[in-house]
Amino acid sequence: MSNSSIQAAGAPATSKRNRTKANVMVVACTVLGAAAQMLIKRGTAIMPPLLDPSGGSILEQAPMIAWKILTNLPLFGGLACYGISTILLVLALRYGELSVLYPIIALTYVWVSVLSVGLLGESVNIYKAAGLVFIVLGVTVLGRKDRDA
Amino acid sequence: MKTPVSSILLVLFASFIGSFGAIFLKAGADRLERSIKGVLTNWRLPVGVCIYLTSFAMYTVAVKNGELTILYPMVSLGYLWTLIWSRLIFKEPLTRNKFIGVGMILFGVVVLNLGNR
C-alpha cells in the first residue's frame, strides 16, 4: 500500500470508506461556506449605520450597536454556518489526507458563483463558466489515486 | 486601478500564513478525543482558527488597495503550500494527480476571476 503516512495515536486509519466519508464532509463544508458568504453579504447590506452621528459618544451608543449586530439574523446565520463548517472540516480531517481534503474547499467558489447567478442575478460569461469547469475537474482529479504512485 | 506591490506581497504572505492554519487543524484533528476535556485541551484547533482569522484580516487589508481579479486568485496559492506542508509534516504521498488537480483548480480560479472583471 502506497499510503504509509505517519499517523498520530488515536487517528482513524485512512481506509477507502473513511476517505470517501471525509470527501463528502468537506464538500458539505464548501456548501456551508458558500451559504455563509451569501448570508454575510446580505447581512452587511441590510445593516443600518452602526454609529448615529447625533447620538453621543461611541461608549454611550455601545448597547445600541451591540443590539444592531445581534438582531441581524442573516449576519448571525452566516457566522454560524462558518462555525459549523469549521467543525465539520476538523472532523473530516481525521479521516483523510490534508493534501486531498484541503484543496476541495475550492468548490466554495463554484457554489458562490452559482448562487450569485441564481439569487443575485449576476451575469454568466464564458470565463466564469470555464473557470468553474476547471475547478470541478481539478477537484475530481485530486481525489484520484495514482495507479503508479 | 493599479495593484501595488505591497498588496500583492501582503496577499502572498496571507496565503502562506493561512496554509499553516490548515496544518494546525489537521494536527488537532488527528489528536481529537471524544471527551469535553479532550476537545477543550486541544490547543492546536484554536491556534489553527486564529491563524485563519489573521490571514483573513491581512487579506482584507490588502484588497482595499488592489484589484480583486489579481489578488483573489492568489489566495488559492494556499492550496499549493498546503500540499508541500502535508508532505513535509504529515508524510502524505505527493502524487502527480494532486499536483495536476491543484494546478487545474488554480487555473480555474484565475479564469473565473477574469469573468468578474
Among the ranges given (A39-43, A75-79, B14-18, B67-71), the one the predictor scored with the smallest mean pLDDT: B67-71
A residues 103-132 lying closer than 8 A (beta carbon) to B? 103, 105-106, 109, 113, 125-132
- The 10s digit of each residue's pLDDT in B76-114 is 899 999 999 999 999 999 999 999 999 999 999 999 988
- pLDDT category of residue A48 using cuts at 50, 70 and 90: confident
From the list A118, A117, A44, the residue with the least C-alpha distance to B115 is A117
- The 10s digit of each residue's pLDDT in A95-146 is 999 999 999 999 999 999 999 889 888 888 999 999 999 999 999 998 787 6
Q: Do A106 and B83 touch (CB under 8 A)?
A: no
In angstroms, rounded to a whole number, what is the distance separating the alpha carbons of residues A136 and A26?
14
From the list A31, A81, A25, A70, the residue with the least C-alpha distance to A47 is A70
DSSP codes, B47-113? HHHHHHHHHHHHHHHHHTTS-HHHHHHHHTHHHHHHHHHHHHHH-----HHHHHHHHHHHHHHHHHH
Q: What is the ipTM of this complex?
A: 0.89
Q: Do B45 and A90 touch (CB under 8 A)?
A: yes
Evaluate whether B90 touches B83 at the Cβ level (below 8 Å).
no
Taking contacts as CB-CB distances below 8 angstroms, the residues of chain B near A105 are 79
- pLDDT category of residue A2 using cuts at 50, 70 and 90: very low
**How many CA atoms lie within 13 Å of B72's alpha carbon, on the beta-carbon side?**
16
Averaged pLDDT score across all residues of chain A = 86
The pTM (predicted TM-score) of the whole model is 0.85
- The 10s digit of each residue's pLDDT in B15-69 is 999 999 999 999 999 999 888 888 889 999 999 999 999 999 998 888 888 787 7
| Planar angle of CA B106, A26, A142, nearest 5 degrees | 40
Q: Is A32 on the interface with B (CB under 8 A)?
A: no
Residue type at A116 in one-letter notation: S
